[in-house]
Amino acid sequence: MFLKLVALLLVTYESLADIPPLYRSRPYDLGAFDRWPHQLYHSSNAIGPILNVHEESVQCYNESIYTVVPYWGKQVNIPGVMLLDTKGYLVWHSTGYVTADIQSFRGEDYIVSLSIDSSYYALINSRYEEVYQIRSGNGWQLDAHELTLSPSGTALLVINDVFAVNQTTFEAPPEVDFILDAGFQEIEVQTGEVLFEWRASDHYTFEEYYHFQPGDGKSETTAPDLFHVNSIEKDDLGNYLISCRMMSSIVYVDGRTGAVIWKLGGKGNMFKDLSGGAATDFNGQHHARFHENGRIVSIFDNGNCPGRPVTGPTRGLTVVLDTEQMTVQLQHEYISPNSVLTDNSGSIQILESGNVVLGFGPNANWAEYASNGSLLCNVHMGPEAFFNSGEIRSYRISKSPWVGHPQTIPEISVDDGRVYVSWNGATEVAMWSLNGTDIDGVGGESVFLGRFPKDGFETEIPVPTNPMGRYLFVSALDRAGQVLGSTSMVQWPSKPRQGIVYQGL
């Protein structure tokens, strides 16, 4: 009860409707804000986070960059996606999706999200409309791990399905009748045509698998998850970089034949590790990506996967490849704050600034590092006491530029004499303009009452104690003072809260 009271006092304030991010709050990390700390708003049915910032640096802040936070978990009734500004305030919230990141397709940015039932990936444009839905083909199951848009304008998605061993070229032990095979497909976005298909069982041996348990595989429901493909990328040469978690292996595949060009890590590793094992001993990894024309590979190393000894703590790493000499060397490590161990999921992203963002999956936490590995920012979106419990989690967390132009109008609410305004998804709002009128409808003659800076998702606007007309409305303004949209009309508060109106700010 004491912690609950402390938490209540921490979030009592007058200036904004939002609960701002906290700083190194011990009550938060013990669960005083609930196991899923979130907030509701007066003017919108959106759901926003309550964050706990443990480390911060100006090097993490960029007003044109947004943090993409998909979330779900035991405490979450409906999974969703949040887009946060550089201060950690909500910008956009939508339910019905369980993964999300921002990618480019044919020169336009999209939020790429997996539907809540995992039946398709959606490409959501800047107006927050589903423009494309992408599904797997050829009878394969769509896998929830990844959809990547390629430089050639196609979509790469992970697939899996259970097969009888005699239906594959895979040589399994006699007691194994079924396996869960995995791979990927390259899809034509507009038509859904499968352009290329690759399955892991054609290119790995059973001896490379770390995690087999005796007795598995006698039925379809106990088919061992041998490969667990969790990331795919197509390079400018038309070849593919693939991460196989259960093999602790990253494989580079010929884009014409599907043949293996090389394997990095795992039992089938083809590289000499010049760093004494530090570049190849990743364990249950995620999110492998090329950089510098294939010279560098970034990897999220979980450090832990069932069937292998823990090699954690979880880290991000970049390694330097020499594919002529077939050597690999550790370049940088990004160790998880407080030596967090991430059992599954997770992400690594190298930003244009050179900073590196790690998302820690079932640990409700993300962190940003300088390129040399030093920690810059560390943010909790759930209490540390429940890390790895599945209460609140995210598959990947990323940061990207985004411009949102929602097709809705700004929302307004009057509550106890106070006026609240917000606009879910609008990124260009800089100010709110308060207006009074006697005309029942926006667009008629009105009286300008003041401008108020937008700061956070929902802004509380003070109104004069004397009514200036029967109705009021609020307009969203960009930095140049142009009107982007206006709320509906609402009646003047019967008992407006005393406040100062700042004219012409």
20-33 per-position pLDDT tens digit: 999 999 999 999 99
**252-261 contacts at long range (C-beta below 8 A, 24 or more positions apart):** 253/198, 253/203, 255/196, 258/196, 258/198, 258/202, 258/203, 259/203, 260/203
How many residues in total does the chain contain?
505
The rounded distance, in Å, linking the Cα atoms of 30 and 35 is 9
- The CA–CA distances, whole Å, from 282 to 24, 90, 303 equal 31, 35, 6
Read off the pLDDT of residues 38-84 as tens digits, 9 standing for 90 and up.
Answer: 999 999 999 999 999 999 999 999 999 999 999 999 999 999 999 99
Contacts for 480 with CB less than 8 Å, ≥ 6 apart: none
- Mean of pLDDT values over 108-137: 97
The confidence score (pLDDT) of residue 455 equals 86
Contact indicator for 148, 110 with CB cutoff of 8 Å: no
- Mean of pLDDT values over 382-400: 96
Bridge partners for 450 per DSSP:
434
**186-190 contacts at long range (C-beta below 8 A, 24 or more positions apart):** 186/150, 186/154, 186/155, 186/156, 186/234, 187/134, 187/136, 187/137, 187/154, 187/155, 187/156, 187/157, 188/154, 188/155, 189/105, 189/123, 189/132, 189/134, 189/149, 189/153, 189/154, 189/155, 190/132
Q: Among 263, 261, 262, 266, which residue's Cα sits nearest to residue 245?
A: 266
Q: Among 343, 240, 263, 271, which residue's Cα sits nearest to residue 300?
A: 343
Q: Among 258, 245, 254, which residue's Cα sits nearest to residue 208?
A: 245
Domain residue spans of the chain: 411-491
The rounded distance, in Å, linking the Cα atoms of 274 and 282 is 15
pLDDT category of residue 214 using cuts at 50, 70 and 90? low
* Full-model pTM: 0.93
The rounded distance, in Å, linking the Cα atoms of 253 and 186 is 13
Bridge partners for 328 per DSSP:
273, 321
- Compute how many other C-beta atoms are within 10 angstroms of the C-beta atom of residue 215: 10
CATH number of 411-491: 2.60.40.10
Q: Among 120, 118, 149, which residue's Cα sits nearest to residue 133?
A: 120
The rounded distance, in Å, linking the Cα atoms of 334 and 318 is 9
What element of type H or E holds 27?
Answer: helix 26-30
Q: Among 402, 419, 405, which residue's Cα sits nearest to residue 485?
A: 405
| pLDDT above 50 (res 503) | no
Sheet holding 365-369, edge to edge: 22-23, 52-55, 375-380, 365-369, 356-359, 347-350
Tokens of 336: 């998880």
Read off the pLDDT of residues 263-293 as tens digits, 9 standing for 90 and up.
Answer: 999 999 999 999 999 999 999 999 999 999 9
The confidence score (pLDDT) of residue 312 equals 84
| pLDDT above 50 (res 11) | no
The rounded distance, in Å, linking the Cα atoms of 37 and 75 is 10
The rounded distance, in Å, linking the Cα atoms of 142 and 157 is 8
Sheet holding 459-461, edge to edge: 411-415, 418-422, 459-461
pLDDT category of residue 229 using cuts at 50, 70 and 90? very high
Contact indicator for 299, 250 with CB cutoff of 8 Å: yes
